[in-house]
Amino acid sequence: MNAGRWSSRWRSLRHRTAQTILAIAAIGAAVALPVVLLSVGGGVFSHELSSIEESGFSISIDSAASHGISNAHALTKEIDAISGVQAASPMLSVPVDLFPPGGSVVPVLAEGVIPAAFLETQSAAERSLLPSSLSLGDPDDTIHYDNGTYAGPSSAQLLLSTPLLQTLDLTSGTVVGLSPSTNASAGSAFTIVGSFGLPPGLLGPSPLFVALLPLSQLQSLVGLAHSPTGTLLDSADSIQIAMVPSLAASPSGVQRVASEVQGLVPYYSVTSLTQQTTEIEGAEAIITGFYVGLSSIGLIVGLLFLVIILLRRVEQERQSIGIRRAIGVPGWMVARDIVAEALGLTLGGVCVGVAGGILTVELLARYTSGTISDIASLAVFDPAELVLLAIALVGLALLASFLPVRRALRLSLPEVLR
């Protein structure tokens, strides 16, 4: 309306500053909760999803117990032959001890891989952390592992993770011992031929001390080449499978290959990336639903607060309302003013709540440490989500004004004006 009306509206607002602040604070607190929960929850899930997508392989075979996939080399060749498969890479992860020159012992995670295939199953992001070719002297792991025997010459080369190299102050060319036990004589000597970086692992611990070496050599070292009876094991604990680029983005294509692979190994668990993504998205939907439920309790409390304050105001202003009705101000104008008041308080609360929520997350990310800080720094503020929240609150404000409007329009004029 005109300036006079608004200035009078402002004056009447100032008359009731404490109430106004209280209402805005209550709604603000109710809004801040979903802002924090949804932004942080959404952030964590989208981080998980992107780290899955970045991991590059789209199907993985895992044995139920560790070190359970036998005949890994042969199985990998069979999988390679399936159409749509770009590369298959068996992997074996075993904790071992490393003996640098000087007599100390360092526990490390040894990863046995087929160097060329391993590179191909890595995402672009992970590949950028690795040398352009894994120069372990045996790109296909066929020199040492020759036709199902371990007869060929060993390259005895390995790559170490940069943190390990730096901590032990080692350089390329140094010879170190690697052993499945603290007894150095149970192991053998390897030459360091290079280093690689590690992807940042935000959620959950990730090993910093990692050694990368040809699969067959790790199998020999830790005794997973042959069983105690002497028969061939050729063991790996997982096989990662990369799709040809034309299939990688097609869930149905990935699914077809996954079921073909499952046909080869009915006793192992085959999971595809799309499956994992679907699982995470399912979990996200459940958690988001939980957050929304939790937040609605807060919002309902905020709403009740608003209703109570509006009812109080109608009570405080019953005489003014009565006078206006008596001199012929239409009911809808009285209703409009109450709704405008509800909307004003609500929008004030939304602004305070959104700002407060963002500030809370920001402060948590900056001034806390550990997991809380890590999680808070993942938060994403989705504008669409915030707008939706604001719209929901406007709806709630309209709902909240219903009772006060009814009360105002049902005032008995003779009683009010007595």
Partner 1 sequence: MTTPSGATIRLEQARRLYHAGQPDEVRALDGVDLTISPGEYLSIEGPSGSGKTTLLNLLGLLDVPTQGRVLWQGAPVERLPERERTRLRRTGIGFIFQRFYLLPTLTALENVELPLQARGLAGAARRRRAQALLAQVGLSDREGSFPHQLSGGEEQRVAIARALANSPQLLLADEPTGELDSVRARQVLDLLEEAHRSTGAAVVVVTHNPTVAARAARHLTMRDGRIVTDSGGR
Residue 65 φ then ψ, to 5°: -100, 165
* CA separation for the pair 139, 142 (Å, rounded): 8
Nearer to partner 1, 193 or 314 (CB): 314
Using the rule CB under 8 A, is 333 a contact of partner 1? yes
Using the rule CB under 8 A, is 8 a contact of partner 1? yes
- Contact residue for partner 1 among 324, 343, 368, 381 (CB under 8 A): 324
- Contact residue for partner 1 among 331, 336, 367, 371 (CB under 8 A): 331
Candidates 121-129, 228-236, 315-323, 360-368: pick the segment binding partner 1 (CB under 8 A): 315-323
Residue numbers 85-114 binding partner 1 by CB under 8 A: none
Using the rule CB under 8 A, is 4 a contact of partner 1? yes
* CA separation for the pair 91, 111 (Å, rounded): 7
Task: Evaluate whether 390 touches 343 at the Cβ level (below 8 Å).
Answer: no
Shortest Cβ 339–partner 1 spacing (Å): 17
* CA separation for the pair 50, 280 (Å, rounded): 11
Radius of gyration for the chain, computed over Cα atoms and rounded to the nearest angstrom: 33
Using the rule CB under 8 A, is 417 a contact of partner 1? yes
* CA separation for the pair 47, 366 (Å, rounded): 19
Structure tokens at 37: 């929960």
- Contact residue for partner 1 among 259, 319, 371, 373 (CB under 8 A): 319
Candidates 99-107, 148-156, 162-170, 321-329: pick the segment binding partner 1 (CB under 8 A): 321-329
Closest CA to 92 of 208, 218, 242, 220: 218
Using the rule CB under 8 A, is 228 a contact of partner 1? no
Partners of residue 112 on adjacent β-strands: 92, 213
Residue numbers 119-158 binding partner 1 by CB under 8 A: none
Nearer to partner 1, 2 or 171 (CB): 2
- Contact residue for partner 1 among 304, 387, 399, 413 (CB under 8 A): 413
Q: Name, in order, each residue with C-beta under 8 angstroms of 314's C-beta and a sequence gap of 6 or more.
A: 321, 338, 404, 407, 408
Task: Evaluate whether 86 touches 244 at the Cβ level (below 8 Å).
Answer: yes
* CA separation for the pair 261, 242 (Å, rounded): 12
Task: Evaluate whether 76 touches 89 at the Cβ level (below 8 Å).
Answer: yes
- Contact residue for partner 1 among 204, 228, 245, 414 (CB under 8 A): 414
Using the rule CB under 8 A, is 5 a contact of partner 1? yes
- Contact residue for partner 1 among 153, 282, 330, 395 (CB under 8 A): 330
Using the rule CB under 8 A, is 77 a contact of partner 1? no
Count of CB atoms situated within 10 Å of the CB of 268: 18
Contact positions vs partner 1 (CB under 8 A) = 1-2, 4-5, 8, 11-12, 15, 319-320, 323-331, 333, 409, 413-414, 417-418
